[in-house]
Structure 1
């Protein structure tokens, strides 16, 4: 019996590929469940199962209360039996004693079977999830078990199954049952039915991992993969660079007589792979990325708002090769380099250059210098339109002419970019650094205006000031901001400027009262060329909490009086001031102070709007 139990246990461990501890825990849990169902024990009662593989025995131990007379043998035990387990047991104590029912082996085998299987399945799923979760991004191998129109099922280690969706398969590749294939494991999801494993042979990282496996220089970091562009099953481009001098990155990837790259090509169902050396110079890199086509010239146009565009000029006989079948070569080159590529033939580029000189006023000066060359190119283009052949020297002349014109375009754009940068730096220098620490929602403007500005990407007061000085039309063009609101914003931002004059005046009078943030917002604008050095004003202002300031109504300063008189005049109501009447003659007595001043009780009331102040006509 003991040998049969031990053999069955070891066979279960080997079959399920689980550890002995996991199987033992599942068996014990199943036996405990079987005991509870057999005797009807409560789930709150402590019950444990112990398995002795050497003797082939199973025992159940349950916690029971020590009593003199047993009423319920499921939860109670006699004192004499309890002291056999614990000699110091007393009445009312709780002890754990053996409670194995008779003929428990047959009953447990039937009742605990489902529980044990469920626990083993849960353990298998958890081990599978942890194992394959660590393999995300790596190449794994498996056997094709089934192929459907939507996906293929791949059998893997740990008795797991992976799915390869149709979009993750290489087009035109036929998978057959029992074929062993390699795939990239790119995602693992945990579900109620076990881990969901997703595989791919069309992912660009699959090509990257294959290169690392086949090329030792890439695996050891001597050669680095900088970029990959791939259309599965058709063509791929890989940009590589060497991290050490004297290493040929392209030769290392290709191998002797192409042995290394051919092994990858066969794995990818004869997919063509172009290995290109990466270059810091964007023009040279784009030229190589369009291989096998020969490029005459590459002219870059950088734009922060739109994609960077590269105009590539190729000979007429290389135009179709540069574009590729259905634009494939140009598309892959654009993905590889990150540039938008516009390919033109030499004749088309020459025609565009002539048109720029004739129509664009910005090229008037250059048109005068290139008048003779422009006429020659125009004659060449007429011959080309008529279908007449051109000698090689004419193509060379057109190439130089295009280079001169396009280089002038690049120089002009660089000048515009430098001018824009100078303009930005000049505007940035006039914005106080403190303004960038104030949240836009704390500025003294209407709440809905602040929400509109924040939605436009303006997060601080400094951003608002800078945007108004660089491009005020953008603020005015926001939906919900009209001319009146823009005038308020402009009045607010004009008062925020770094002023050397103000800095000097503060240095000379350090004992003067330092203005609060609301006074800084109303400061008179002063143009400066450079930001002021940090002054005591900035240090003091940094202590001010950035909250929306509440501006009190201006009160005219009078001569020094007693504090009580100042308090009285603060709440004095003048009806003539607000247009309720015009005093033509004195109505009250000669005591003018009694006409206006409220009583002593009323002047201590909480300040309220003017209409709630005491009416001077009361008592008339």
Structure 2
């Protein structure tokens, strides 16, 4: 009964199951029994869960043939002891209780301590693995090289130096509130990692301070933080009668100030979320005013034009405002002033006009008309339906047809020149035959010493895009071309499988 009382006390102290402690005790007694009667024997211990009585038993497996005399018995011998014995059954012999010597007792104690510690670690992992994403309170237990160990009551957690806010210092005994972002099972036990700089820490603080977020009426769509300095949070209301920004700010700023106080004075911009990318990005750049935006959906880039006096406000100190807006929206943001945008537009218009004048042999009036109608390259003029050209003011069908004919002739001439140049650079015929590569691209590949299918197959998609030029090919097309170039690598692997496949189908 004393044994059961000890098991109950340990189970209560370590907050683990009583049965786990008793199993550890059984393994300890089992180990001591094997030390006494021989390590080669299969000796098992059992503690009666009601009386606390210890039973030590030797097990012998019925086997035919016998491979290990210490743990097995032949079928013939087994049937002389027990008539209905079969191969795979176990015969048991009760052993007398052992008197624990000092060494045996010490070994048993080590086994029990180890098993109890393993059970405690398992309990900690099971308890905290489902609490990832929660905010917890704890006491600082120790501080080593800036890393803080936090006592959570039933477990310890680690708050690494890079997960703290800048200029934030804790002393032993301080109370700390943190966000659990990872729980890992490691050989030394479960490791609970906490953070105060994680974006979701701020989101969870808002859900604790704003009942509408907790109830799901207001949703936090995105968070971006520069820990300890500034943050942006995008919110949307699922109830038209509730203003999401006003609810998060609270009466006289009470709610947002509670979060700011916990984050050591971090400035927070609360922004209304919008499904329209342009609107959302304009909101995210607040307090700067935006004049115009130009989106590139494929590259997920956006050019934002702001008045000259708003440039520094839009960029923010050390680029903080635009960086946080980019993190919040997931778009790359390029900021231009109205003057820069105007200069660039004039330069692009001049370059396109000059291209049309040189390639189509037309005067500047016609070239400017084509640019004004949105034509950016000769390919568009060469292959656009004739009706689109005739719709331009002052263009009749003859002029449109002549322009289209000149554009096609110029492109054909340039393509032949590019093919000749690619040949001079040593580009292989197999590479030339690959779908998705134009003669101009082949010239650029040749100049970069990419001349065979193997050379092209060794490239990554971003390397190929950089060689042929940004905007001429997207990532999906680049991957397709590279995989086509690698196709011959796998032909040898597939060939042996063909006869086998044929025999199966037969």
Give the TM-score band, short-chain normalised: 0.5 to 0.7
Tell me the TM-score normalised to structure 1 length: 0.53
- TM-fit CA distance, 1:106: 7.0
SS of residue matched to 1:30: helix
**Residue in 1 aligned with 2:112?**
116
Cα distance in 2 for residues equivalent to 1:547 and 1:102: 70
Q: CA deviation at 1:451?
A: 11
**Residue 265 (structure 1) aligned with residue 260 (structure 2):** yes
The C-alpha deviation readout for 1:34-89, integer Å capped at 9, x for no partner, is 111123242xx3322222365443231223699xxxxxxx9999xxxx99xx9879
Distance 1:300 1:240, change over 3 A: same
Q: What residue number does 1:298 align with? A: 292
1:302 positional shift = 2.6
Partner of 1:50: 46
Distance 1:53 1:275, change over 3 A: same
Match of 2:282 in 1: 287
RMSD: 4.5
Residue aligning to 1:130 = 126
Counterparts of 2:274 and 2:98 in 1: how far apart (Å)? Answer: 82
| SS of equivalent to 2:286 | coil
Residue 247 (structure 1) aligned to one of 215, 226, 242? 242
Could you list the per-position Cα deviations for residues 450-478 of structure 1 after superposition, in whole angstroms to 9, with x for gaps in the alignment?
9989xxxxxxx9xx424348955566566
C-alpha change, 1:258 and 1:422, in structure 2 (3 Å) is farther
**Matches of 1:30 and 1:343, distance apart in 2:** 71
- Aligned equivalents of 2:353, 2:332: Cα separation in 1: 29
TM-score (norm 2): 0.64
Q: Would you say the 8 A contact 1:424–1:470 is kept in 2?
A: no
Q: Where does residue 30 of structure 2 map in the other structure?
A: 32
Match of 1:429?
A: none
| Aligned counterpart, 1:234 | 229
Per-residue deviation, 1:14: 0.8
For each residue in 1:304-361, what CA deviation from the matched residue of structure 2 results, as whole angstroms up to 9, or x when unmatched? 46x6242331362x4443333333223222322334444455xxx3476368548952
Question: Per-residue displacement from partner, 1:100-129 (whole Å, max 9, x unpaired)?
Answer: 345348775333111111111222222323
Kindly indicate whether the alpha-carbon contact (under 8 Å) linking 1:23 and 1:120 is maintained by their aligned counterparts in 2.
yes
**CA separation of 1:41 and 1:325: change in aligned 2, threshold 3 A:** closer
CA contact (8 A) 2:305 2:341 kept: no
CA distance in 1, matches of 2:56, 2:130: 39
Q: What is the DSSP-based 3-state SS (H/G/I as helix, E as strand, rest coil) of the residue aligned with 1:237?
A: strand
Q: For residues 566-577 of structure 1, what are the structure 2 equivalents within 5 Å?
A: none
**1:383 matched to which residue of 2?**
none
Aligned to 1:60: 56
Once residues 122 and 421 of structure 1 are traced to their aligned partners in structure 2, the CA distance between those partners, rounded to angstroms, is: 75
Asked if 1:353 is matched to 2:323, the reply is: no
Q: Please give the alpha-carbon distance, in whole angstroms, between the structure 2 residues aligned to 1:466 and 1:63.
A: 73
Provide the secondary structure at the position in 2 that maps to 1:33: helix
Q: Which has the larger radius of gyration?
A: 1
What residue in structure 1 maps to residue 167 of structure 2? 172
Partner SS state of residue 112, structure 1: helix
Aligned partners of 2:442 and 2:235: how far apart in 1?
Answer: 45
Q: Map residues 199-214 of structure 1 onto 2, 5 A cutoff.
A: 199-214=194-209
Contact 1:312 1:341 in 2 (8 A): no
The match for 1:274 among 269, 272, 290 is: 269
Question: Does the residue aligned with 2:437 lie in a helix, a strand or coil?
Answer: helix
Which residue is equivalent to 1:223?
218
2:303 pairs with 1:310 = yes
- Find the residue that maps to 2:131 and give its secondary structure: coil
Aligned counterpart, 1:194: 189
| 1:325 and 2:317 aligned | yes
Whether 1:465 aligns to 2:426 is no
CA distance in 2, matches of 1:417, 1:142: 64
Displacement of 1:482 in angstroms is: 7.0
Partner of 2:10: 12
Q: CA deviation at 1:265?
A: 1.6
User: 2:449 is matched with which residue?
Assistant: 479
- Residue pair 2:165, 2:227 contacting (<8 A) in 1 also: yes
Does the CA-based 8 Å contact 1:29-1:49 persist in structure 2? yes
The alignment partner of 1:134 has SS state of helix
Candidates 326, 335, 340, aligned match of 1:334? 326
Question: 8 Å contact 1:49–1:60 — kept in the other structure?
Answer: yes
1:163 to 158, 164, 176: 158
Residue 144 of structure 1: aligned partner:
140
Q: How does 1:346-385 map to 2 (within 5 A)?
A: 349-350=338-339, 353=342, 357=346, 360-361=349-350
Unmatched segments (≥5 aa) in structure 2: 63-69, 355-367, 386-426, 457-489, 493-506
CA distance in 1, matches of 2:378, 2:330: 23
Q: Name the CA shift for 1:314/1:108 in 2 (closer, same or farther; >3 Å).
A: same
